[in-house]
């Protein structure tokens, strides 16, 4: 093969266009941009999340008086070449705007400092959303821009639509740089940026900042945005319950699909596909890659290849969550007997994990520390594996922070906060998270497990190859907690009865 001398000078970055011919004649341009009826009214109404998002912004405002706060939605991540993943905004942006799946890439929320009390709702900030409004049909963007043009991506909200939807002032993205630069400088207004979300915004802010050290306070903003989400409001709790309820329906569909899964060489994909189809039909997506782990695969904590067979007599560990249109996600695991009945060995392991989960759930109430939930589950796990003779020390010795030998069979934590991100509030300080004190409205998982790998010579043969996790989502209440996942069978008897009933239908 020889180089073609005619084309080798063409810059690589422009060669993506070599595959098609777009007419560029003036006659075509005039023709394609004319003859269109009026824009469709999208019928936008105020989002039910709008008032809650306003209250969240007011709380953030109170933490950063006088500073300009910049929270980008982000841009789509590249999947390969010029193909992107479906866009999902940063959780902080979704939280502060109330925008779910209807949001816009490249949008930026800015909380401009104003005189104390003169801002939105009597706060010290005025919020403005900067975004790309749809171009008119008389522009080239309309038919030639595959990222924004309505010919390619469909009708998009105008700035006025966004204002109705969110109750936030909306302005053109072109005005962002000037808006951020206003009053900035060494003695001016400090900008705090949620960095690393949108490179273009990072660059604009870097150019405006006179003071290098300012970048370091960005971390305080990221931390505050995570901590702001630790306690869920009423709207968030309803969305999380919706995500869980939709997930439970998805689990039922998977049980009905088990005969198809056992008949397929890659039955785990049948399970994954069944759940994904449900999540896309009834919600926005899955909140994370589904773990459909049959047999020995259940002992691999994040088994997402899902390319194995699903066999009669084995367990299926299904860890899956529907993300609602609001972007709140469930995170649920059940470990099901593929043929509908647990063997004695499977039941024995399942019961220990269930007892650990129940102990953790019984401990949950306002005032205890997040880490105490894990400790309650671990006391049960250590006690039982010691009773089975698996430990070279007593349960009490194993529970010593310097030992922790029982963790060989459960190396992951028991709980994580749950919300817009499956592992929510990840930038919160340790004193607010692991060492934090539980408050009503916090939502987290309880997900103990036991994983006995088939080549683990320290466990009896009958237990090898068995992996069990039970994962529930709980909300802390005034005097304890409530299982958002309480409607999904948990005990071995209830799981068997639930599966049998589904199979009869
Ligand atoms: N599905 C991931 C987790 O349980 O944390
Ligand atoms: Mn989880
Ligand atoms: Mn999970």
Q: Is 331 in the pocket of ligand 1 (CB under 6 A)?
A: yes
Q: Which of 279, 319, 410, 449 to mutate to test the pocket of ligand 1 (most atoms within 8 A of CB)?
A: 319
Rounded mean pLDDT, 232-254? 98
Q: Does residue 60 belong to any structural domain of this protein?
A: yes
pLDDT above 70 covers a percentage of the chain that reads: 97
Range of the domain at 471: 234-504
Contact in structure between 109 and 126 (CB atoms under 8 Å): no
- The answer to whether residues 275 and 403 belong to one domain is yes
- What per-residue confidence (pLDDT) applies to 7? 60
From the CA of 333, give the closest atom in ligand 1.
4
What DSSP line would sit under 10-60, residue for residue?
S-GGGGGGGG------HHHHHHHTSS--PPPP------TTHHHHHHHHHHH
Rounded mean pLDDT, 123-141? 93
- The answer to whether residues 215 and 249 belong to one domain is no
- The answer to whether residues 292 and 219 belong to one domain is no
Q: Does residue 246 belong to any structural domain of this protein?
A: yes
- The answer to whether residues 219 and 352 belong to one domain is no
Of the listed ranges 107-111, 146-150, 447-451, the one predicted with least confidence: 146-150
Rounded mean pLDDT, 33-48? 91
Mean pLDDT of the residues in the chain: 95
Distance between Cα 402 and ligand 1 center (Å): 26
**CA–CA gap between residue 217 and residue 177 (Å, rounded):** 20
Q: Edge-to-edge, what's the strand order for the sheet holding 481-483?
A: 443-446, 472-476, 481-483
From the CA of 319, give the closest atom in ligand 1.
1
Q: 346 Cβ partners below 8 Å, 6+ apart?
A: 315, 337, 466, 468
Structure tokens at 297: 């695969």
**CA–CA gap between residue 452 and residue 463 (Å, rounded):** 7
- Atom 4 in ligand 1: residue holding the nearest Cα: 331
What does R_g of the chain's alpha carbons equal in angstroms? 26
- The answer to whether residues 86 and 106 belong to one domain is yes
Of the listed ranges 46-50, 140-144, 378-382, the one predicted with least confidence: 140-144
CATH code for the domain of 210: 3.40.350.10
State which of 227, 252, 267 marks the end of a domain. Answer: 227
Split at pLDDT 50, 70, 90, the class of 45 is very high
Summarised one tens digit per residue, pLDDT across range 191-223 is 999 999 999 999 999 999 876 666 779 999 999
Nearest ligand to the C-alpha atom of residue 288: 1
Residue 472 per-residue DSSP state:
E
Contact in structure between 319 and 471 (CB atoms under 8 Å): yes
Rounded mean pLDDT, 184-195? 88
Say if residue 249's pLDDT is above 50. yes
Say if residue 372's pLDDT is above 90. yes
Q: Does residue 138 belong to any structural domain of this protein?
A: yes
- The answer to whether residues 351 and 313 belong to one domain is yes
- What per-residue confidence (pLDDT) applies to 116? 85
Q: Is 424 in the pocket of ligand 1 (CB under 6 A)?
A: no
Compute CA 415 distance to the chain's CA centroid, rounded to the nearest angstrom: 15
- The answer to whether residues 104 and 175 belong to one domain is yes
Say if residue 1's pLDDT is above 50. no
Split at pLDDT 50, 70, 90, the class of 21 is confident
Higher model confidence: residue 146 or residue 413?
A: 413
Summarised one tens digit per residue, pLDDT across range 78-114 is 999 989 999 999 999 999 999 987 678 999 999 999 9
Q: Is 268 in the pocket of ligand 1 (CB under 6 A)?
A: no
Distance between Cα 462 and ligand 2 center (Å): 28
The backbone torsions φ and ψ at residue 5, rounded to the nearest 5 degrees and listed phi first, read: -60, -25
Q: Is 447 in the pocket of ligand 1 (CB under 6 A)?
A: yes
Of the listed ranges 2-11, 225-234, 290-299, the one predicted with least confidence: 2-11
- The answer to whether residues 352 and 482 belong to one domain is yes
- The answer to whether residues 266 and 332 belong to one domain is yes
Higher model confidence: residue 11 or residue 21?
A: 11
Q: Does residue 273 belong to any structural domain of this protein?
A: yes
Question: Could you give the number of structural domains in the chain?
Answer: 2
- The answer to whether residues 277 and 323 belong to one domain is yes
Q: Is 218 in the pocket of ligand 1 (CB under 6 A)?
A: no
Q: Does residue 1 belong to any structural domain of this protein?
A: no
Distance between Cα 319 and ligand 1 center (Å): 7
Distance between Cα 147 and ligand 2 center (Å): 34
- Atom 3 in ligand 1: residue holding the nearest Cα: 331
- What per-residue confidence (pLDDT) applies to 2? 47
Summarised one tens digit per residue, pLDDT across range 333-355 is 999 999 999 999 999 999 999 99
Say if residue 4's pLDDT is above 60. no
Q: Does residue 38 belong to any structural domain of this protein?
A: no
Say if residue 332's pLDDT is above 90. yes
Split at pLDDT 50, 70, 90, the class of 60 is very high
Q: Does residue 44 belong to any structural domain of this protein?
A: no
Output the CA angle 440-445-446, nearest 5 degrees.
Answer: 105
Distance between Cα 292 and ligand 1 center (Å): 12
């Amino acid at each position: 093969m020889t180089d073609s001398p005619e084309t080798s000078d063409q810059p690589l970055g422009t060669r993506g266009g070599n595959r098609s011919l777009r007419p560029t004649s003036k006659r075509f341009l005039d023709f394609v941009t004319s003859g269109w009826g009026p824009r469709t009214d999208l019928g936008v109404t105020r989002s039910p999340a709008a008032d809650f998002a306003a209250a969240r912004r007011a709380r953030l405002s109170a933490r950063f008086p006088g500073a300009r706060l910049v929270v980008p939605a982000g841009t789509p991540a590249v999947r390969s070449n010029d193909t992107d993943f479906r866009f999902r905004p940063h959780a902080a942006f979704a939280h502060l705007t109330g925008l779910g799946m209807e949001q816009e890439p490249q949008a930026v929320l800015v909380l401009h400092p104003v005189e104390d009390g003169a801002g939105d709702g009597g706060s010290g900030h005025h919020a403005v959303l900067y975004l790309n409004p749809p171009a008119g049909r008389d522009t080239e963007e309309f038919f030639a821009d595959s990222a924004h043009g309505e010919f390619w991506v469909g009708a998009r909200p105008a700035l006025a639509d966004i204002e109705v939807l969110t109750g936030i002032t909306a302005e053109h993205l072109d005005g962002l740089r000037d808006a951020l630069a206003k009053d900035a400088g060494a003695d001016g207004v400090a900008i705090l940026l949620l960095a690393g979300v949108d490179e273009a915004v990072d660059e604009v802010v870097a150019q405006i900042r006179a003071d290098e050290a300012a970048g370091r306070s960005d971390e305080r903003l990221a931390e505050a945005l995570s901590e702001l989400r630790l306690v869920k409001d009423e709207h968030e709790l309803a969305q999380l319950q919706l995500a869980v309820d939709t997930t439970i329906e998805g689990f039922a569909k998977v049980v009905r699909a088990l005969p198809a899964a056992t008949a397929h060489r890659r039955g785990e994909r049948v399970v994954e596909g069944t759940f994904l189809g449900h999540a896309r039909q009834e919600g926005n997506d899955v909140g994370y890659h589904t773990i459909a782990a049959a047999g020995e695969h259940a002992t691999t904590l994040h088994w997402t290849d899902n390319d194995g067979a699903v066999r009669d007599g084995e367990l299926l560990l299904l860890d899956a969550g529907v993300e609602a249109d609001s972007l709140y996600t469930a995170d649920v695991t059940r470990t099901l007997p593929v043929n509908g009945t647990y063997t004695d060995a499977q039941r024995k392991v399942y019961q220990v994990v269930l007892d650990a989960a129940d102990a953790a759930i019984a401990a949950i109430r306002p005032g205890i520390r997040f880490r105490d939930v894990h400790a309650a589950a671990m006391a049960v796990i250590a006690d039982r594996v010691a009773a089975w003779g698996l430990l070279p020390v007593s349960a009490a010795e194993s529970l010593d922070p310097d030992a922790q030998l029982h963790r060989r069979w459960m190396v992951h934590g028991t709980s994580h906060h749950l919300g817009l991100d499956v592992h929510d509030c990840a930038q919160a300080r340790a004193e607010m998270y692991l060492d934090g004190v539980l408050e009503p409205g916090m939502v987290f998982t309880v997900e103990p497990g036991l994983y006995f790998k088939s080549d683990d010579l320290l466990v009896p043969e009958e237990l090898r190859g068995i992996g069990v996790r039970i994962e529930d989502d709980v909300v802390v209440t005034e005097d304890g907690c409530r299982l958002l996942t309480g409607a999904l069978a948990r005990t071995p008897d209830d799981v068997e009865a639930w599966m049998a009933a589904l199979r009869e239908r």
